[in-house]
Amino acid sequence: MSLRRILIAERGPLASLLHRSLMAAGYETVAVFGERDELAPHVEEATYAAYVPGLDRKSDLVGAALDAGCDCLHPGAGPLAESAALASSCRDSGLAFVGPLPDQIEGLSDRWVTRELCVASAVPVVPGSALLINHQELRQAAESLEFPLWLKNPWGLEPIRFDELEGLVKEGTARIHAGQRVWLEQHVENARHVTVTVVADRNGDVVALGVQERSSRREGRLSIEQAPAPVSQSMAEGLQEAAVAVAKAVRFVGVGSVGFLVDPSGAAPCIGLRPRLSLGMLLTDVRHGLRLAALQVQVVSGQSIGWGQDALDPQEVALSIRIRATTRGTLGEWKLPEGVQVESAFAAGMQVGEGALLAVLVIKHTSRPACVVRAIAALKELSVSGVETDALECIAQLSEPTFWLGGVVASGN
**Do both 258 and 149 map to the same domain?**
no
In-domain check, residue 89 = yes
**Do both 279 and 388 map to the same domain?**
yes
The rounded mean pLDDT for the chain is 88
CATH number where 252 lies: 3.30.470.20
Least-confidence region, from 3-12, 169-178, 323-332:
169-178
Task: Find the domain containing 9 and state its range.
Answer: 5-98
Taking the C-alpha atoms of residue 227 and residue 211, their distance in angstroms, rounded to an integer, is 7
In-domain check, residue 412 = no
In-domain check, residue 122 = no
**Do both 53 and 182 map to the same domain?**
no
Least-confidence region, from 39-53, 131-145, 287-301, 389-403:
131-145
Question: Domain ends where: 147, 165, 186?
Answer: 186
**Do both 360 and 232 map to the same domain?**
yes
Residue 2: which pLDDT band, with cuts at 50, 70 and 90?
confident
In-domain check, residue 411 = no
Selected residue with higher pLDDT from 103 and 31: 31
> SS3 for 237-283, per residue?
HHHHHHHHHHHHHCCCCEEEEEEEEECCCCCCCEEEEECCCCHHHHH
**Do both 35 and 180 map to the same domain?**
no
In-domain check, residue 409 = no
At 168-221, the pLDDT tens digits run 555 444 555 555 678 888 888 888 999 999 999 999 999 999 999 998 877 767
**Do both 217 and 286 map to the same domain?**
yes
Measure the CA angle with vertex 405, ends 312 and 409; round to 5°.
Answer: 90
Q: Identify the pLDDT of residue 411.
A: 41
In-domain check, residue 11 = yes
- pLDDT at residue 167 is higher than 60: no
In-domain check, residue 410 = no
**Do both 363 and 318 map to the same domain?**
yes
At 17-30, the pLDDT tens digits run 999 999 999 999 99
In-domain check, residue 109 = no
Least-confidence region, from 34-43, 96-105, 108-117, 246-255:
108-117
- pLDDT at residue 412 is higher than 60: no
**Do both 83 and 139 map to the same domain?**
no
**Do both 315 and 220 map to the same domain?**
yes
Question: Domain ends where: 136, 171, 186?
Answer: 186
CATH number where 57 lies: 3.40.50.20
Q: Identify the pLDDT of residue 92.
A: 96
- Whole-number percent of the chain with pLDDT over 90: 63
**Do both 215 and 295 map to the same domain?**
yes
> SS3 for the chain, per residue?
CCCCEEEECCCCHHHHHHHHHHHHCCCEEEEEECCCCCCCHHHHHCCEEEECCCCCCHHHHHHHHHHCCCCEEECCCCHHHHCHHHHHHHHHCCCEECCCCHHHHHHHCCHHHHHHHHHHCCCCECCECCCECCHHHHHHHHHHCCCCEEEECCCCCCCEEECCHHHHHHHCCCCCCCCCCEEEEECCCCCEEEEEEEEECCCCCEEEEEEEEEEEEECCEEEEEEECCCCCHHHHHHHHHHHHHHHHHCCCCEEEEEEEEECCCCCCCEEEEECCCCHHHHHHHHHHCCCHHHHHHHHHCCCCCCCCHHHCCCCCEEEEEEEEECCCEECCCEECCCCCEEEECCCCCCEECCCCEEEEEEEEECCHHHHHHHHHHHHHHCEECCCCECHHHHHHHHHCHHHHCCCCCCCCC
Taking the C-alpha atoms of residue 61 and residue 74, their distance in angstroms, rounded to an integer, is 10
CATH number where 133 lies: 3.30.1490
Question: Domain ends where: 98, 113, 145?
Answer: 98
At 129-160, the pLDDT tens digits run 998 877 677 778 877 888 778 878 776 544 55
**Do both 210 and 154 map to the same domain?**
no
- pLDDT at residue 256 is higher than 60: yes
Residue 395: which pLDDT band, with cuts at 50, 70 and 90?
very high
Taking the C-alpha atoms of residue 343 and residue 354, their distance in angstroms, rounded to an integer, is 19
- pLDDT at residue 372 is higher than 60: yes
CA distances, 124 to each of 175, 184, 268 (Å): 27, 16, 7
**Do both 135 and 283 map to the same domain?**
no
Number of folded domains in the chain?
3
